[in-house]
């Protein structure tokens, strides 16, 4: 079975009955999803499914989209000479109990060579061999979003933070924002200011990743120093308040996510510099060419391990097992009914 989302209204979802094939074509691999992460990041995938072609990863009926998730899968059948049954791989899967891949061998595993996948970045097509570790759930939850945070910090540092002295992050309690704050505090000499809801202010401040945490109703109290703004909320009205508070001190605005996905997006006109969408795979490709993929991957892995270890103090793993529980969790994420200290790991059994 496959979890599918109505492309015109992400609040509507269904389980589509599908069956794993009995026979595979030459070069194909059948994987069973062992476990995956389901977070607000996945809601962002659904929201930008058409713009960034996330719906093109795993095609289905035109009105519906199959939600991509990052997870571990085990090869249960293989018609590829270099991919053995029993191998465990990390990559992007459809949220489904099985997945068939037209495999092409790579140094660390294999990639999806289906014709409709050729246009997608390698990071979205690769399946890397992965041995079990005690931190698998946390790695699932953070690996994908941490790469975005790591690369955004790298991008900002590469551009000397556009002359800014502070980075102001909207939706500061989101996991991508927390990871970004961690990367900024580790590698950049700028003040990191988090903006979040009143109910999440204490939690966000307790993490120790931000130099300052303010609630949204304190936006007017922002320090009027040169700033980079990172918007992970997608809330244009909130962003307009930040622009009003900082004015000409805004040197760059990066648009990354949409945790407030249902906030009105029209009727708000922002002055320059207008928000620029940050697409992590582009920075990944650029830095991979400059540094070499092996060096870059090693840097990301080392930084991720340090960050994941730091989350032991606050991350509470929640496990959802079975299609009913997974569907309920997706609904809660869409409604914003989850806690910032929760990390959700899903499986079918």
Rounded to the nearest 5 degrees, what angle is found at the Cα of 342, between the Cα atoms of 220 and 310? Answer: 80
CA distance 173 to 90: 26
- On whether both 176 and 239 belong to a single domain, the answer is yes
Whichever domain contains 182, its CATH number is 3.40.50.720
In whole angstroms, what is the distance from residue 95 CA to residue 2 CA? 6
Measure Cα distances from 68 to 65, 220, 270 in Å: 9, 38, 32
Judge whether 289 lies within some domain. Answer: no
> What CA–CA distance (Å, rounded) separates 127 from 1?
21
In angstroms, the CA 260 to CA 173 distance is 12
Contact between 54 and 60 (Cβ < 8 Å) = no
Residue carrying the six token digits 């691999």:
29
Task: Tell me if 20 sits within 8 A of 30, measured CB to CB.
Answer: yes
CA 188 from centroid of its chain's CA atoms: 22
Bond into 273 cis (ω within 30): yes
Q: CATH no. for residue 336?
A: 3.90.180.10
pTM: 0.89
C-alpha distance from residue 238 to each of 92, 201, 221 (Å):
32, 16, 14
Which tokens in the block code for residue 187?
Answer: 């590698």
What is the maximal distance between C-alpha atoms in the chain?
Answer: 64
Angstrom distance (rounded) from CA 127 to CA 331: 28
Q: How many residues belong to the chain?
A: 349
Question: Which residue among 228, 263, 282 closes a domain?
Answer: 282
Domain that holds residue 29: 2-132+315-347
Helix (H) or strand (E) holding 183: helix 175-187
Residue 266 lies in a domain: yes
Residue-by-residue pLDDT tens, the chain, 349 positions: 999 999 999 999 999 999 999 999 999 999 999 999 999 889 989 988 998 899 999 999 999 999 999 999 999 999 999 999 999 999 999 999 999 999 999 988 999 999 999 999 888 999 999 999 888 999 999 998 999 999 999 999 999 999 999 999 999 999 999 999 999 999 998 999 999 999 999 999 999 999 999 999 999 999 999 999 999 988 899 999 999 999 999 999 999 976 665 555 666 889 999 999 998 989 999 999 999 988 999 999 999 999 999 999 999 999 999 999 999 999 999 998 899 999 999 999 9
Same domain, 264 and 219: yes
Total domains in the chain come to 2
193, 222 contact by CB (below 8 A):
yes
Residues 57 and 20 sit within 8 Å (Cβ to Cβ) = no
The answer on 194 and 103 residing in a single domain is no
Q: Within a 10 A sphere around the Cβ of 38, how many other Cβ atoms?
A: 27
Is the residue at 229 inside a domain? yes
Identify whether residues 169 and 222 lie together within a single domain: yes
3-state secondary structure of 271: coil
Q: Which two tokens stand for residue 54?
A: 């996330």
């Amino acid at each position: 079975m496959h979890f599918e989302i109505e492309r015109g209204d992400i609040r509507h979802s269904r389980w589509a009955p599908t069956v794993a094939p009995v026979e595979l074509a030459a070069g194909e691999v059948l994987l069973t999803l062992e476990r995956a992460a389901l977070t607000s990041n996945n809601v962002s995938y659904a929201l930008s499914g058409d713009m960034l072609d996330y719906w093109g990863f795993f095609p289905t009926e035109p009105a519906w989209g199959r939600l991509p998730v990052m997870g571990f899968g085990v090869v249960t059948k293989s018609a590829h000479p270099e991919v053995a049954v029993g191998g465990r791989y990390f990559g992007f899967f459809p949220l489904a109990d099985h997945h068939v891949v037209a495999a092409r061998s790579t140094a660390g595993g294999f990639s999806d060579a289906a014709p409709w996948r050729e246009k997608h970045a390698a990071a979205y097509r690769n399946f890397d061999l992965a041995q079990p570790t005690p931190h698998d759930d946390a790695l699932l939850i953070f690996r994908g979003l941490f790469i975005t945070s790591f690369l955004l910090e790298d991008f900002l540092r590469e551009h000397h933070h556009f002359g800014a002295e502070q980075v102001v992050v909207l939706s500061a309690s989101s996991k991508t924002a927390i990871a970004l704050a961690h990367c900024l505090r580790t590698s950049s000499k700028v003040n990191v200011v988090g903006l979040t809801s009143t109910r999440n202010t204490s939690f966000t401040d307790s993490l120790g990743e931000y130099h300052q945490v303010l609630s949204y109703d304190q936006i007017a109290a922002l320090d009027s120093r040169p700033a980079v703004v990172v918007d992970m909320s997608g809330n244009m009205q909130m962003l307009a308040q930040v622009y009003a508070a900082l004015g000409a001190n805004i040197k760059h605005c990066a648009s990354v996510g949409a945790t407030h996905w249902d906030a009105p997006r029209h009727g708000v006109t922002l002055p320059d510099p207008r928000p620029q969408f940050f697409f992590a795979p582009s920075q990944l490709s650029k830095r991979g060419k400059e540094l070499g993929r092996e060096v870059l991957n090693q840097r990301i892995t080392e930084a991720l391990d340090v960050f994941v270890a730091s989350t032991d103090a606050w991350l509470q793993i929640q496990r959802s097992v079975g299609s009913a529980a997974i569907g309920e969790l997706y609904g809660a994420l869409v409604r914003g009914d989850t806690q910032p200290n929760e990390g959700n790991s899903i499986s079918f059994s």
